[in-house]
Chain A
Amino acid sequence: MLVAAAVGLSLFVLPLVGLLQRAAWGSLVDDLRSPAATEAIRLSLVSSLAATALAMTFGLPLAWVLARTELPGRAVVRALVLLPMVLPPVVGGVALLSAFSRRSPIGSWLYDSFDVQLTFSLAGVVLAQAFVAMPFFVITVEAALRQADVRYEQVAAGLGAKPTTVFRRVTLPMIAPAIAAGAALAWARALGEFGATITFAGNIAGRTRTLPLAVYLALESDPEAAIALSLVLLGVSFIILVTLRDRWLGKA
């Protein structure tokens, strides 16, 4: 048992060790300062934060509907929401392409009416990231809403609070930790998004080339830079995991 566990663990540890070992620590800062790297980091930050905001804006009502209403077909809605978590991202990208490309009805309507093109644009990157990241926010918040004691909301109503006031002043503060955790998870997932982004939004320097895309590209031409950027992503993931340790790793 212990041996098998050790083999299992090494599967996680060895790639990390390899990455850290091959890092050119001396030129790390310079590698990250190169125009290509800073551009990718900037794009990644902007797009992933926008995607997180999008996931929160629409994920919160969705979580509420899933947790608190007796909507018929709720199981189907939940399955649809969670689908991007198990769907290969590249398939997600193809699906987004089919729905929103300029040749699709929605895509052409958006382009003709609002001059908005989602494919091969920053907006497309944000949409692709939100597509894969939102489920993480929704399930985290939905679980918190289910666990929250509805009697507090009844007390608030009994004290004369309108439903909107109850939600704003009682429900939201009580699930605030879950909202923060869900947002962090969604952000981490958005930051690392590759497959759906490259399929739907392409790989255009300065417009849609986010960190993971830049890593993939640099692997051919400049492995050192690829490793430096990988370390940035690794660091961010690690920090998020440590921040959420109470929730996801237990307090042991």
Chain B
Amino acid sequence: MLDAHLQITQGPFELDVRIEAHPGSVIAVLGPNGAGKTTALRAIAGTLALDGGHLRVDDVELDNPTTGTWVPAEKRQVGLVHQDLLLFPHLSALENVAFGLRARGASRAVARGDAMRWLDRFELGELSASRPSTLSGGQAQRVALARALATEPRVLLLDEPLSALDPATRQATRRDLRRWLDGFEGITVVVTHDPLDALTLADGVVVVEQGQVAQAGTIVEVTARPRSRYVADLLGTNLLHGIATGTTIAVGAATVATADALDGPVFASVSPAAITVHRGEPEGSARNRWPAVIEAIDLLGDRVRLHTTGILPLVAEVTPAALAELDLRTGDAVWLAVKATEVRVYLR
């Protein structure tokens, strides 16, 4: 169990964030650059001390300025994968992974044996003797992850794990990361500015804005009911799980047409703003049309979010003017339409 209430003051900037997570879960800390995400990460890792609040992992207090508790980084069971990976340039991939095991007292032979098993697990066995400078971005990413996991941390911190990769590698790594994290029994905290990382990797999300928590909850809760315009723009999307066959995705009983052909299990996201709402069955170029019933109407700033039920429960966003013109009320039957090009698909 991670129980963190992180209060840090750096000049005019004040961070005040609560992060709670259970073993086996993945929490995304999402926010724009400068929101204080990395500061929060450093406080958990132990390279920055709290000014207030507390940090507990499995009921062991690691940092608490009130009681004067401070456990240095090397005694915390917290693994950090930095955005720039920071593999030791003078050590081979194997020695990098073995480093933490050696530092924790394993003999050279045991550490190297364990490290080799980790490299094999990440399909890096053949590169064990390679120096980091000769590895590709994706390979280096995996070595860094293996190095952090090899010490069996209670908390694994990933700082923008995908931002240093090129777009093609990012796709593949995002999928692999999800698979590797599934097997990790500790708590994972992923810091990212990319909502997609949160949607595809995490179970829970803490949205941070200017040092404060804008909203926290499970991915399902936050995407369905963003509490502010800011969170709605960031995460208020329709996230669908389905099986793709070419340009069609089967989502439960519904089918969704997309522009990108993929095969296999996928995530699809549809922005609520891309969905149009009609009184009767619409005509036109939109290939996706579904009948639905309005279940709830939320006013959020200058937009209205319509929560609907039907064969494909979706959230649609309209302006207050459109709401008035169509005279939409809870319980009304409507048609929803969205163009295939507005459906973003990612391999799961």
Contact = CB atoms under 8 A, between A and B. Distances in A.
A152 B88 contact: yes
A161 B86 contact: no
A151 interface: yes
A103 interface: no
B311 interface: no
Interface string A145-184: 0000101101111111111010001100110100000000
Contact of A157 (B72, B88, B104): B72
Interface residues of A, number: 19
B90 A173 contact: yes
B218 interface: no
B89 A174 contact: yes
A165 to B, nearest CB: 6
A160 B103 contact: yes
Given A157-B73, A158-B73, A152 B103 contact: no
A158 B80 contact: yes
A158 B45 contact: yes
B149 to A, nearest CB: 11
B77 to A, nearest CB: 8
B79 A159 contact: yes
B90 to A, nearest CB: 4
B99 interface: yes
A162 B47 CA distance: 14
A40 B47 CA distance: 54
Contact of B103 (A149, A154, A156, A174): A156
B151 A174 contact: no
Given A158-B45, A159-B79, A162-B74, A152 B86 contact: yes
Nearest to A152: B86
A159 B99 contact: yes
B78 A158 contact: yes
Given A160-B151, A169-B99, A154 B88 contact: no
B100 interface: yes
A221 to B, nearest CB: 52
Given A170-B88, A174-B89, A174-B90, A156 B99 contact: yes
Contact of A159 (B72, B84, B100): B100
Q: Is the interface of A mostly helix, strand, loop or mixed?
A: helix
Contact of A162 (B100, B103, B147, B151): B103
B291 interface: no
A185 to B, nearest CB: 22
Contacts of B74: 157-163
B75 to A, nearest CB: 8
Contacts of B82: 151, 155
Nearest to A162: B74
Contacts of A155: 80, 82, 86, 88
Interface in B99-129: 99-100, 103-104
B138 interface: no
A159 B151 contact: yes
Nearest to B45: A158
A151 B75 CA distance: 17
A152 B80 CA distance: 11
A23 to B, nearest CB: 44
A174 B89 CA distance: 8
B46 interface: yes
Nearest to B74: A157
A160 B86 contact: no
Contacts of B46: 157-158
Nearest to A150: B47
A41 B241 CA distance: 81
A176 B89 CA distance: 12
Interface string B82-99: 101010111000000001
9 contacts: A155-B80, A155-B86, A155-B88, A158-B78, A159-B74, A159-B147, A161-B100, A161-B103, A170-B88
The 4 nearest A-B residue pairs measured at CB: A159-B100, A161-B103, A160-B103, A157-B73
Given A156-B88, A157-B73, A165-B103, 14 more contacts: A151-B82, A151-B84, A151-B86, A155-B82, A156-B99, A158-B46, A158-B74, A158-B78, A160-B75, A160-B104, A170-B88, A173-B90, A174-B90, A176-B90
